[in-house]
Amino acid sequence: MARYHSSYPCLKVIQTVITVLLLPAGVFAQALQDSLTIKLEEQFQHSAFPGFVTAIVNADTILYERAFGYADIENKKPYTLQTLQPVASVSKLLIGMAVMKATDQQLLTPGTEINSILPFTVTHPGQPQVPVTVLHLATHTSGIRDNPDMYRKTYFFYPPEPAGNPVYQYMKSKGYGAALPPADTTLAGFLRDYLSPRGAFYHRSNFGKYAPGKAYSYSNIGADLAALLVEYKAGESFAAYTKKNIFLPLGMKHTSWTRDLADSALYAALYTGSRQRYPAYGSVCYPDGGLITSGHELALLLKENISGYFGKSAVLSPAACATLMQPVFSADNTPRDTDPANPNSGIFYAIKKSGIIGHTGGDGGVSSFFYFNPAKKFGMLLVTNTEIEGADGINKQVLEDFEKVWRVLGQYGEQLQRGYQGERR
């Protein structure tokens, strides 16, 4: 896509900002939205993004949502608010919501010991006397670690085989999509083989050094195990449970967990930082990063999270929401090795030092941010069909572009939220 530099967009931004100061509240909001669109379009023209979608949301409404660029560069297919793509680890927030929905239904609690539910036994090999709980899984303190070589094998490629695709060849060379013996490649089958001492993929190194609850170690597989617990207690797949209890009640009609269930006409192509196209892929461990959704439907989820934080969830009780997003760690009970960028945790919700709550996501051809600020009562999301880190390593240009767009959203988000609050008075 051609890129250009022009002073015209900047001039229009300045003119629009001056103009909005003279307008009544409703027109003021529209002018701010128009100004933001111009600014983001300018950012896009100078960015490495193929396409992206943004939204600014509060507990009551979507204050702003817009898509830019291409969902498919080769076919000049625009990225829209309805474009579908994976959002990587932002998916884990759905595991947290599902755990708390199951708590509302009295199927389990965060304090439930996992071996009281599982049909196979999981114990920390170095600390077998300390039981693993749902809360340990939800705060990445279970002691379960991801074995990178084995985790890559959980990925699979949708047919037909894209033999001529260089990204596919690279992924295959790194072990992605390798066969998972034995034949049981379900989520339950893989987790049993990985975590049970009798499992085909079991190894002492699948667990860390410290007892459950004592150290932080981000674990995709631990997150998948929490989703499996919901499956066992609900008597249906995690995909079916979340669709019935979360997606449909929130109006997320096109959201799914696997590409074959998504509307192919709406699906975005995914790209490396150098704009090489990824093959169509999925994972046996879909709950930890396989959520496929649109910018608009993700905005509905963000609205639900903000509403829930203030006690007005459409799908969870006020008590469940409070547990979902309140800090678990305290000054006298903080696990070692806690992530400095996210020093506290709710039920799979990362909590930053500033108090901002949400999650990021990154996978092949995917980058996503999903956060809200309880103090300022609004949130933002940004999703793009390229990667900050992937087959090409860390793409500094994509990272810088992501940060620039995020800062712009924050600046306008505060103004839109203040304007909305002013209208409500």
Task: Set out the domains of the chain in order of their start, with CATH numbers.
Answer: 25-424 (3.40.710.10)
pLDDT of amino acid 4? 26
Between CA 348 and CA 362 the distance in angstroms is 16
Distances, alpha carbon 237 to alpha carbons 43, 242, 296, 298, in Å: 41, 9, 25, 22
Contact by Cβ (8 Å): 341, 88: no
pLDDT of amino acid 9? 35
Q: What is the pLDDT along the chain (425 residues), one digit of tens a residue?
A: 332 233 333 333 333 333 333 344 556 689 999 999 999 999 999 999 999 999 999 999 999 999 999 999 999 999 999 999 999 999 999 999 999 999 999 999 999 999 999 999 999 999 999 999 999 999 999 999 999 999 999 999 999 989 899 999 999 999 998 777 655 679 999 999 999 999 999 999 999 999 999 999 999 999 999 999 999 999 999 999 999 999 999 999 999 999 888 888 999 999 999 999 999 999 999 999 999 999 999 999 999 999 999 999 999 999 999 999 999 999 889 999 998 888 999 999 999 999 999 999 999 999 999 999 999 999 999 999 999 987 667 889 999 999 999 999 999 999 999 999 887 76
Count of alpha carbons within 13 angstroms of residue 291, beta-carbon side:
33
**pTM score, whole prediction:** 0.92
The full DSSP string for 288-318 is GT--EEEHHHHHHHHHHHHHHHTT--SSS-H
Count of alpha carbons within 13 angstroms of residue 225, beta-carbon side:
35
pLDDT of amino acid 260? 85
